[in-house]
Amino acid sequence: MKYLSTRGGMDPAGYGEILLEGLAPDGGLVVPEELPRVSAETREAWRGLDYPSLATEVLSLFATDIPRDDLARMCRDAYAVRPENFVDPAVVPLVPLGDVDPRLSLVGLSEGPTLAFKDMAMQFLGQSLEYVLRRSGRTINILGATSGDTGSAAEYALRGKEGIGVFMLSPQGRMSAFQRAQMYSLTDENIHNIAVAGVFDDCQNLIKQLSGDLDFKRHHRLGTVNSINLGRISAQIVYYFWAWLRQTDALDAAERETAQVSMTVPSGNFGNILSGHYARQMGVPIRRLVLAANENNVLDEFFRTGIYAPRASAETFLTSSPSMDISKASNLERFIFDLLGRDPERLAAAWRELDETGRIDLSDEQPRFAEEFGIVSGSSTHADRVATIREVHETSGLVIDPHTADGVKVAREHLEDRVPMLVLETAKPAKFPEIVVEAIGASDPLPEHLSELLDLPQRVTAMPNDEVQLREYVEARAV
């Protein structure tokens, strides 16, 4: 398996190399030369596997330059069930929401060390980055941006790792108190937290500016763990296979041959649902991929109209589902690349249109979003989130976080007879106590091992939205 850039200016590279690169050298995003296909027979052969073993099978299709035994060990270590790692024996449990609607279930992606779905990819990425670096004798400085959960998941996966420095940018005042505490309380010497005056998109733009300076990038060995890193996308594909397999376990062999599910994905930077798009192309029987947005509904507008019009930082709302407060979704480039026939020239023309006009008009292609790619969308508001958290709690006894509530609300707008709807859970509700208290009158308790986290001292560097200052900061502390 080789990898190319969406913009056509990169020589084919292997999996280990693209793990270290993040953005392609030409400023594009790395994509597989061709997605592997998984037959129905192979899917059935995988049915009895536990999560680490399934991860080994799926990731072996992408990481063809890593020996299988080494890959299997990394997957076992990444998805080990122990108190400080994944706490549910299944790693990813499916939780029916039958009292809300018999067609609804949650895909439990928040059983990892930072209580958020980002752990599913980050734990593998931490293992694989350290492996590739050790094998090559290199070091790397991870430059990342977070709107809430990516940062803590990355830092917990990479803290103390040999040969890895982490520089994580977060928007000042735009994360929950728990999210800040998870990141800023870490004292590992290789972890550097930077709170930028601005929104997530400003943090993401700073990363692109430094990564786009190829001399600076190579001299300081910059990489990324944002979802622009294809290693994260590939690791997230695993749980789409897993969810379909678990949902269809009770069916007989004949029923499985035609069994489809739909999946709703709360989405900000389009990375998680892009993994579902790839999983569907690989052979997971997904009827609909439902994108759920909050008030920052640029992606919902795109999938409803075909017009992509990112908003400026000042127009990005601060919401009660803060991890989705994003107005410019980096991973959409990978989807548009597929939409335009994987043609770098057509993609470049679309990006020129964006630069010149502030938007891309693909309205002529919009009917294909649902017909060919199965993608539909919807939006949610604060009032919707509160009402959904309350209803789910009253009917099922479960407490969900606000991002998952966005997903449940939008999922119910796209339910179909005899098609199960799986909503990808985003995080534990204890990370967002204010809206949970508003909805049900009480907060969801933190796990015991994290109960004192909010009381720990925090270490963070405040910084203006300034490329020069960030460049100097990284230069002084790079490994």
Integer Cα distance of 39 and 437 in angstroms: 46
Which strands form 104-107's sheet, in the order they lie side by side? 94-96, 104-107, 421-424, 261-266, 286-293, 375-379
Q: Which helix (H) or strand (E) holds 375?
A: strand 375-379
Would you mind telling me the total number of residues written for the chain in this entry? 479
Indicate if 409 belongs to the active site. Answer: no
The helix (run of H) or strand (run of E) holding residue 284 is none
- For residue 46, CA distances in Å to 54, 64, 287, 416 come to 7, 19, 21, 28
474 within 8 A of 143, measured Cβ to Cβ: yes
Going by the DSSP 8-state scheme, the letter that residue 445 receives in this structure is P
Q: What phi and psi, each to the nearest 5 degrees, are found at residue 392?
A: -60, -40
Residue type, 324: M
Write out the E strands in 78-234.
94-96, 104-107, 140-145, 164-171, 191-196, 222-223
Q: Tell me how far apart the alpha carbons of residues 348 and 192 are, in angstroms, rounded to a whole number.
A: 35
From 118, 161, 428, 431, the catalytic residue = 118
Hey, is 7 helix, strand or coil? coil
Provide the residue type at 325 as one letter: D
Contact 453, 446 (CB under 8 A): yes
Enzyme catalytic residues:
118
